Structure 1
Amino acid sequence: MRTCSDSQPTEHLTSVDGQQTSVAVVGAADEQGEHHLDIVREESGEIAAGADDMVKSDLMFQRMTPVVDTTFYQPPELTDAMLNTTVFIDPSNPFSESVQAKVLRKVDITSYENVEVRKDAMPKLKVGSQVTVSNLTVKLMSKLGVGGFAVAYKAIVTSADRSTSLGKFSMCNTLDSTAFSESDDVCVKAQKPSCPWELYVCKELRQRVSCMDEDIERDIGSKLMDITHSVFFSDGSLMVNELVPLGSLLNLVNSMKANSCKIPESLVMYVTIELLHAVEVMHRCKIIHGDIKPDNILFCGL
């Protein structure tokens, strides 16, 4: 199972410079100051048996104030009053356009392997069109999906010039990009406006994973989206990655529903474990996804 990037994420667990925040709300009260910490316990038939313990527990929780767990990250300028709140907002928002622009100014995206930057406009694309992305020429065969800013095409490689590798070096030395050959099926994502941030995050994540334990790298490396070729025009971008023919989790759910079938519990458990493991590794790399949804989870195999 593979997680892929669809659009810019919108959460605040981590910032791109590696800072991380963990939020934990211990207690909460309504307008009358009454705490409701355990709905299941209140509705349980076992209330009478442990009434005394419950009263003591409620009194204890009423003396507690909401606390923010800053185990991993605590900016030095924070005051005690700010820490004693139910919600903590990281002042460095990695999904802010200004923050992204600041980071990208420090990164030469042409240093990545097989990346080209052009000043002309992106050509108009349609099924049957032939387009060159870096040193890879492909023919668009069909549409895989359409989003608000991008269209994904299934394409076939018509020419792959392996003698020319654009870019100064590969950022993913141990997680080498897929080498395509003629007649290989690939996925081409056409997006307007261009999104160099997506390329940066994908490459940065793979680079950080490559520095982790070998077992983790071997297990998770092949499950991360790898943008192998890309070209950035003045008004848009084209990115190529390996085609995953089994489709997405959304495709599976829709197919099962259409056939009046239920997804086996064992498969649900498998998908959940794989997804949680991928998210755990991303968070250990101090990067978050922020747009995890069924159509962004692709099946590599079962």
Structure 2
Amino acid sequence: MSPAEPGGLRLVSDPWDANRISDLLSRLRPPLTSHPCCYSWPCAVPSIGPKNILSLGSSSLRVDAVLGQGAFATVFQATNPATSDRMVLKVQKPANPWEFYINTCLDARLPPSVRHLLGSIRSAHLFLDGSIMLGELHNYGTLLNAVNLFRAQSDKVMPPPLVLHFAISILHTVEQLHAARIIHADIKPDNFLLGDRCVRLR
């Protein structure tokens, strides 16, 4: 942290720096890996693809499809054949334990009445070269999907009442996140998931 600047502001080093994040996580007491939903595996991330069966501890999951792919992660839909429970698998290389840590902060800091506004991670599996996060499946896609649906229509415009609804939902969600003293840093339409009754930020 730098000395105070004029006006009483202090500048901190890049909060998204990988070494800084690793240092912060190493200071946690108890350590993140002691969380009952965080698992460490002394091996590489297993091969994952559609129609594969993935074993994670005592659970076996059938990988159904690829839902999306980014620079650092691939998101799959999976099903537990024993329960028919469907979920999302987020496979990241390198591993991203910080995401699970922030999820635990959301659980601790947000009132139950607003926790549903932000995505939740069921469990984190940390491997030598990556991580797998198990999360909730949202059947209606993202806000970006909705925008693109309207763009494909003849008038190419989302109805103003719907725009207003989404704008209010987004602002309310971000307000709750900031009240919990957390900054998202990647607010964009494809990070808002559409659920049965709300818009969730992931």
TM over 0.5: yes
* Partner deviation per Cα, 1:12-70 (whole Å, 9 max, x = no partner): xxxxxxxxxxxxxxxxxxxxxxxxxxxxxxxxxxxxxxxxxxxxxxxxxxxxxxxxxxx
Question: Which amino acid in 2 is paired with 1:120?
Answer: C
How many residues matched? 194
Displacement, 1:89? 6.4
Question: Which amino acid in 2 is paired with 1:188?
Answer: L
Match of 2:187 in 1: 292
- Separation in 1, partners of 2:20, 2:34: 21
Choose 99-108 or 146-155, whichever is displaced more: 99-108
Question: Which amino acid in 2 is paired with 1:105?
Answer: S
Match of 1:83 in 2: 7
- Separation in 2, partners of 1:259, 1:89: 49
Question: Which amino acid in 1 is paired with 2:7?
Answer: L
Counterparts in 2 of 1:195 and 1:155: CA distance versus 1, 3 Å: same
Determine helix, strand or coil for the equivalent of 2:110: helix
* Partner deviation per Cα, 1:232-272 (whole Å, 9 max, x = no partner): 11001111111000100010111111223421111111111
Match of 1:250 in 2: 144
* Partner deviation per Cα, 1:195-243 (whole Å, 9 max, x = no partner): 0011111211221114xxxxxx31x211211110221110011111110
Match of 2:94 in 1: 193
Residues 2 and 10, structure 2, Cα contact 8 Å, conserved in 1: no
| TM-score, normalising length: structure 2 | 0.88
Structure that is richer in strand per residue? 2
Determine helix, strand or coil for the equivalent of 2:140: coil
Counterparts in 2 of 1:144 and 1:283: CA distance versus 1, 3 Å: same
Asked whether 1:129 is paired with 2:30, we answer: no
Determine helix, strand or coil for the equivalent of 1:269: helix
Choose which of 210, 222, 240 in structure 1 pairs with 2:134: 240
Match of 2:16 in 1: 95
Query: Percent same amino acid among aligned pairs?
Result: 31
Provide the aligned C-alpha RMSD in A: 2.0
- Separation in 2, partners of 1:272, 1:280: 12
Displacement, 1:102? 1.6
Residues 2 and 12, structure 2, Cα contact 8 Å, conserved in 1: no
- Separation in 1, partners of 2:58, 2:36: 11
Question: Which amino acid in 2 is paired with 1:118?
Answer: W
**Unmatched runs of 5 consecutive residues or more in structure 2:** 198-202
* Partner deviation per Cα, 1:155-182 (whole Å, 9 max, x = no partner): 11124xxxxxxxxxxxxxxxxxxxxxx1
Is the radius of gyration larger for structure 1 or structure 2? 1
Residues 78 and 88, structure 2, Cα contact 8 Å, conserved in 1: yes
Residues 113 and 228, structure 1, Cα contact 8 Å, conserved in 2: no
**Unmatched runs of 5 consecutive residues or more in structure 1:** 1-74, 160-181, 211-216
Match of 1:270 in 2: 165
- Structure of greater relative contact order (alpha carbons < 8 Å, 6+ residues apart): 1
- Separation in 2, partners of 1:123, 1:278: 35
Match of 1:52 in 2: none
Determine helix, strand or coil for the equivalent of 1:83: coil
1:1-302 aligned within 5 A = 77-79=3-5, 82-83=6-7, 90-107=11-28, 108-159=31-82, 182-210=83-111, 217-218=112-113, 220-260=114-154, 261-302=156-197
Determine helix, strand or coil for the equivalent of 2:47: coil
Residues 152 and 189, structure 1, Cα contact 8 Å, conserved in 2: yes
- Separation in 2, partners of 1:298, 1:76: 38
